[in-house]
Amino acid sequence: MRVVERINDVRSTVKEWKSQGLKVGFVPTMGYLHEGHESLIKKASEENDKVVVSIFVNPIQFGPKEDLASYPRDLKRDSEICERAGANLIFHPENEEMYFNDFSTFVDMNGLTNGLCGKSRPIHFRGVCTVVSKLFNIVAPDRAYFGEKDAQQLAVVKRMVRDLNIDVEIVGCPIVREEDGLAKSSRNTYLSEEERAAATILNKSLMLGKEEIQNGQRNSASIIKIIEDSIKSEKLARIDYVEIVDSSSLEKVEEINISSIKDFPNHPFKVINDEKMQEMVKSVKEYGVILPVIVRPKEDGTYEMISGHRRKRACELAGIKQIRCIVKDLTDDEATILMVDSNIQREEILPSEKAFAYKLKLEAMKHQ
């Protein structure tokens, strides 16, 4: 295994591998590796011919009051872990190699990065997206491996790769935990003995939430309250946020009574009780509604269906009273555009329905 500091050395090595038809896996890290990283490297080496690990504490993803200076570093130990786990190359650049003095191009993302951790770390994901896209350009891997512990980061990277057409497969890997349930993290070293013991409350509380869901609870607010109450029982713990969101859109998911969801006014697509609907009813009875519908809240406390009229009808026919919903705050025009966009690709739409839908969308776009 080699350790290199220069972009050109990574490029020439990977080019050589690719000329031999070899597949390249990539694990981006900030070093101070633990068993979580080790599991990513092992998976990468199982699924690829060669593995590159980057070790770079990326300054632009740290806010001014965050822990850039104190972030733990130990290249010697990291190299041993990489070698043991099957890495072939470590890329360990200095800041100057990654960022010119007048560096001025960033990858910024709307929406997905605003909530959850993004709320208290406003520049964090801009820094992550920028460095990860640079690293993808440098390494040009076939697959890249990220931990599910940083669930928002995983969703953001997947979205970035989709939006920017980056030719890499993103692989999410399960969390590795200590015996008492605490997720492994390089930052666990910051904890005093007392804080370390208190930190187990996080996993314990999540497990209570999970148990609640397994017992059939589908009301987000009740599940969140159980988790919050449990975390608050630990005096050293402070809650930043507890939210239940869709794992790829990161939007809030709630179980809502079907009776309080009204159809979209002027909805151009007819919901027909045909053979396909009967199949959907059967599937909903057996598996529930897998893909949540999209609704927007109305002032009177009810909701308006944006995407999911057929799923809602299938639930009604199956005698199901509640449905999983992504709740989005949308203006009338935004709602119209999303309603049209999320239906227009369906095969069975009539030309007349399509024409009317496009007319609605055009009107809405004119107002924007």
Active site residues: 37
Of 30, 82, 160, 161, which lies in the binding site for ligand PAF, with binding defined by CB under 6 A? Answer: 30
Q: Closest CB to ligand PAF among 128 and 227?
A: 128
Residue 85 is encoded by which pair of tokens? 């786990």
- From CA 75, how far away is CA 273, in angstroms rounded? 64
Q: Least distance from C-beta 131 to ligand PAF, angstroms?
A: 5
For the CA atoms of 308, 313, 314, 319, the dihedral, rounded to the nearest 10 degrees, stands at 130
Question: First-to-last CA distance in the chain?
Answer: 55
- In terms of Cβ atoms closer than 10 Å to its own Cβ (0-12, 13-18, 19+), residue 145 is buried
28 belongs to the binding site for ligand PAF (CB under 6 A):
yes
Q: What is the total count of residues that contact ligand PAF (CB under 6 A)?
A: 10
Q: Which stretch binds ligand PAF (CB under 6 A): 81-89, 101-109, 124-132, 307-315?
A: 124-132
Give the residue from 48, 302, 307, 295 showing the smallest Cα distance to 171: 48
132 belongs to the binding site for ligand PAF (CB under 6 A):
yes
Of 14, 131, 295, 325, which lies in the binding site for ligand PAF, with binding defined by CB under 6 A? Answer: 131
- From CA 93, how far away is CA 127, in angstroms rounded? 16
* 263: DSSP letter: P
- From CA 224, how far away is CA 150, in angstroms rounded? 19
Q: Least distance from C-beta 58 to ligand PAF, angstroms?
A: 4
Instruction: Give backbone dihedrals phi and psi of 135, rounded to 5 degrees, phi first.
Output: -65, -40
- Please state, as a whole number, how many other Cβ atoms lie within 10 Å of the Cβ of residue 143: 18
Q: Closest CB to ligand PAF among 182 and 325?
A: 182
Q: Which stretch binds ligand PAF (CB under 6 A): 26-34, 82-90, 193-201, 310-318?
A: 26-34
Q: Closest CB to ligand PAF among 132 and 295?
A: 132
Residue 25 is encoded by which pair of tokens? 């896996």
Q: Which stretch binds ligand PAF (CB under 6 A): 39-47, 126-134, 187-195, 210-218?
A: 126-134
Q: Closest CB to ligand PAF among 146 and 269?
A: 146
Give the residue from 49, 52, 30 showing the smallest Cα distance to 41: 52
Q: Closest CB to ligand PAF among 77 and 232?
A: 77
Give the residue from 2, 94, 81 showing the smallest Cα distance to 40: 81
Q: Closest CB to ligand PAF among 30 and 85?
A: 30
Q: Least distance from C-beta 130 to ligand PAF, angstroms?
A: 9
Q: Least distance from C-beta 31 to ligand PAF, angstroms?
A: 8
The H or E element containing residue 280 is helix 275-287
- Please report, as residue ranges, which positions from 43 to 72 form the binding site for ligand PAF (by CB under 6 A): 58, 61
Q: Which stretch binds ligand PAF (CB under 6 A): 28-36, 221-229, 307-315, 351-359?
A: 28-36
Of 78, 150, 254, 255, which lies in the binding site for ligand PAF, with binding defined by CB under 6 A? Answer: 150
Instruction: Give backbone dihedrals phi and psi of 118, rounded to 5 degrees, phi first.
Output: -60, -25
Q: Least distance from C-beta 169 to ligand PAF, angstroms?
A: 16
> How does strand 143-147 pair with strand 293-297?
unpaired
Q: Which residues contact 178 (CB under 8 A, 6 or more apart)?
A: 184
The amino acid present at 101, given as its one-letter code, is N
Of 13, 29, 130, 307, which lies in the binding site for ligand PAF, with binding defined by CB under 6 A? Answer: 29
Q: Closest CB to ligand PAF among 61 and 343?
A: 61
Interacting residue ranges for ligand PAF, rule: CB under 6 A: 28-30, 58, 61, 128, 131-132, 150, 153
